[in-house]
């Protein structure tokens, strides 16, 4: 049998590359995240080849910061988009190149700025005048000019979930376009700073490229005004945000994403950066979970699974819908069930009225769980976080083991006697 990329049905089962998922469940237990190396590499290669040599693909670490995934991408020459000092340490530990790191986020701390400056990152994507001043003062104490881009807010509606829309005027992200120009002039005249580029990121799970093009056009207009005033720019960072397939979405391809943002930027003589996260890893991962119990209540049927909202938060946080699939054949009849977790919250629901062959002991795959999954896992309800497994052909690598109950309590202390 040839090795299919990612996850596919073959001989009545769902496989991760050349391994049946039921075998992985036996070996690693459930719940468990499973990723496909080939699927990640395929998505990476699509972005890499679409962007061409003049640009850099900076993978957004917050989508999935597992060290082995970062290492895999670093080996392919990836840049990285980070949002904290912790993510910087992960990238460096995984062998990533600091000179290809851009640092985003609205609340960078002084220590995080200092460490990033010392590590020699490519650029700080600055989110406010106050942050620009803080970066400049850290740069002065470190005696190293800080490379900066302003993250501007192009005020376009990305038509996505309000929690992941970031480019509207009334959002905490970015600097209004009208204010950016004056701040650029100030930064260009500040010896503690080196202006490198312009950055933006308008939102996530975008299913149309039109807002990305509109944002790029506004960035291009700003870039021209800055260039006319003698401010030279090394790059324009168009952010991430490309959507993926969860249920029935038809997202644009990485090539369409790159074309949509590159066209308006073509004649500026700058290199183009993108920061995809979800589009690289989401479809390359699943969450494997087992049905513990079936339960009838109020005329509804529930399948209670061993994964909870602590393991995978997106359905509870964003009301996100996912495709759920039975891993192995089942005698059970197909019927609509609500698939819920064991956590004591009604939001702990993975799917409503999902038609499945529901039987206790059955294995389910929650598809497209590779992004914003393991990274958002918590220990709520004192539940150890699940393991992560990377499948590479016929090999399965445990890239994060299941947490233990002792680890759950390891940082805590009891009070002294009395």
Ligand X SMILES: *Cc1c(COP(=O)(O)O)cnc(C)c1O
Tell me how far apart the alpha carbons of residues 331 and 318 are, in angstroms, rounded to a whole number. Answer: 34
| 200 given a catalytic annotation | no
Confirm whether residue 318 is marked as ligand binding.
yes
> Helix, strand, or coil here: 278?
helix
- What lies within 8 Å, CB to CB, of 123 at 6+ separation is 102, 103, 147, 148, 149, 196, 197, 199, 235, 237
The number of helices, as runs of H, and strands, as runs of E, in the chain is 12, 21
Q: With respect to ligand X, which residue has the nearer C-beta, 180 or 242?
A: 242
Confirm whether residue 37 is marked as ligand binding.
no
Q: With respect to ligand X, which residue has the nearer C-beta, 24 or 177?
A: 177
Confirm whether residue 345 is marked as ligand binding.
yes
Confirm whether residue 241 is marked as ligand binding.
yes
Contact between 175 and 155 under an 8 Å Cβ cutoff? The reply is: no
Q: With respect to ligand X, which residue has the nearer C-beta, 161 or 400?
A: 161
In the bound complex, what is the minimum distance in angstroms from residue 95's beta carbon to ligand X? 21
CA torsion, points 373, 375, 376, 382, in degrees to nearest 10?
Answer: 110
In the bound complex, what is the minimum distance in angstroms from residue 40's beta carbon to ligand X? 14
Q: With respect to ligand X, which residue has the nearer C-beta, 25 or 102?
A: 102
> Helix, strand, or coil here: 213?
helix
What is the b/e burial string over 372-411, where b = at least 16 CB atoms within 10 angstroms of the residue's CB?
bbbbbbeeeeebbbbbbbbbbeeebeebbebbeeeeeeee
Confirm whether residue 275 is marked as ligand binding.
yes
**Is the peptide bond prior to 64 cis by the omega test (within 30 degrees of 0)?**
no
Tell me how far apart the alpha carbons of residues 295 and 80 are, in angstroms, rounded to a whole number. Answer: 45
In the bound complex, what is the minimum distance in angstroms from residue 71's beta carbon to ligand X? 19
From residue 233, give the alpha-carbon distance in Å to each of 5, 56, 223, 323, 402.
Answer: 39, 15, 8, 43, 46
In the bound complex, what is the minimum distance in angstroms from residue 275's beta carbon to ligand X? 4
Confirm whether residue 367 is marked as ligand binding.
no
In the bound complex, what is the minimum distance in angstroms from residue 151's beta carbon to ligand X? 7
> Helix, strand, or coil here: 56?
strand
- What lies within 8 Å, CB to CB, of 266 at 6+ separation is none
**What's the angle, vertex CA 250, arms to CA 246 and CA 256, rounded to 5?**
120
Of residues 32, 58, 344, 354, which has the active-site annotation? 344
Q: With respect to ligand X, which residue has the nearer C-beta, 201 or 235?
A: 201
Q: Give the closest residue to 21 by CA, choosing from 400, 402, 281, 362.
A: 362
In the bound complex, what is the minimum distance in angstroms from residue 274's beta carbon to ligand X? 8
Confirm whether residue 292 is marked as ligand binding.
no
Q: With respect to ligand X, which residue has the nearer C-beta, 287 or 305?
A: 287
* Site residues (vs ligand X, CB under 6 A): 60, 62-63, 81, 104, 201, 204, 239-242, 275-279
Binding annotation = 241, 275-278, 314, 318, 345, 372
* Catalytic residue annotation: 344
């Amino acid at each position: 049998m040839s090795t299919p990329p990612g996850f596919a049905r073959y001989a009545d089962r769902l496989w991760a590359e050349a391994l049946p998922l039921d075998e992985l469940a036996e070996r690693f237990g459930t719940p468990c995240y499973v990723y496909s190396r080939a699927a990640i590499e395929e998505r990476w290669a699509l972005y890499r080849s679409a962007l061409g040599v003049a640009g850099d693909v900076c993978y957004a670490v917050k989508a999935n910061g597992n060290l082995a995934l970062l290492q895999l991408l670093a080996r392919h020459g990836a840049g990285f988009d980070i949002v904290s000092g912790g993510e910087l340490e992960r990238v460096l530990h995984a062998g990533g190149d600091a000179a290809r790191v851009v640092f985003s986020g609205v609340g960078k701390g002084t220590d995080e700025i200092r460490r990033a400056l010392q590590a020699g990152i490519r650029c700080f994507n600055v989110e406010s005048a106050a942050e620009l001043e803080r970066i400049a003062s850290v740069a002065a104490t470190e005696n190293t000019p800080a490379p900066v881009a302003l993250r501007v807010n192009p005020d376009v509606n990305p038509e996505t979930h309000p929690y992941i829309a970031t480019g509207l005027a009334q959002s905490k992200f970015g600097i209004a376009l009208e204010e950016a120009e004056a701040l650029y002039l100030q930064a260009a005249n500040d010896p503690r700073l080196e202006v490198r580029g312009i950055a933006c990121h308008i939102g996530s799970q975008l299913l149309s490229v039109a807002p990305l093009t509109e944002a790029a056009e506004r960035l291009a207009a700003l870039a021209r005004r800055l260039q006319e005033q003698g401010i030279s720019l090394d790059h324009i960072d168009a952010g991430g945000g490309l959507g993926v397939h969860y249920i029935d979405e038809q997202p644009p391809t990485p090539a369409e994403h790159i074309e949509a943002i590159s066209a308006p930027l073509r004649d500026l003589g700058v290199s183009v950066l993108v920061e995809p996260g979800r589009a690289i890893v989401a479809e390359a991962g699943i969450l494997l979970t087992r049905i513990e119990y079936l339960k009838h209540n109020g005329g509804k049927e529930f399948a209670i699974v061993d994964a909870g909202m602590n393991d995978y938060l997106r359905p509870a946080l964003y009301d996100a819908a996912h495709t759920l699939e039975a891993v192995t054949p089942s005698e059970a009849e197909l019927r609509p069930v609500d698939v819920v977790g064991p956590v004591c919250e009604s939001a702990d629901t993975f799917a409503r009225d999902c038609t499945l062959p529901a039987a206790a002991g059955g294995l389910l795959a929650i598809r497209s769980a590779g992004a914003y999954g393991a990274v958002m896992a918590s220990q709520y309800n004192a539940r150890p976080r699940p393991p992560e497994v990377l499948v590479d052909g016929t090999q399965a690598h445990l890239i994060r083991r299941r947490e233990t109950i002792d680890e759950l309590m390891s940082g805590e202390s009891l009070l002294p006697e009395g």
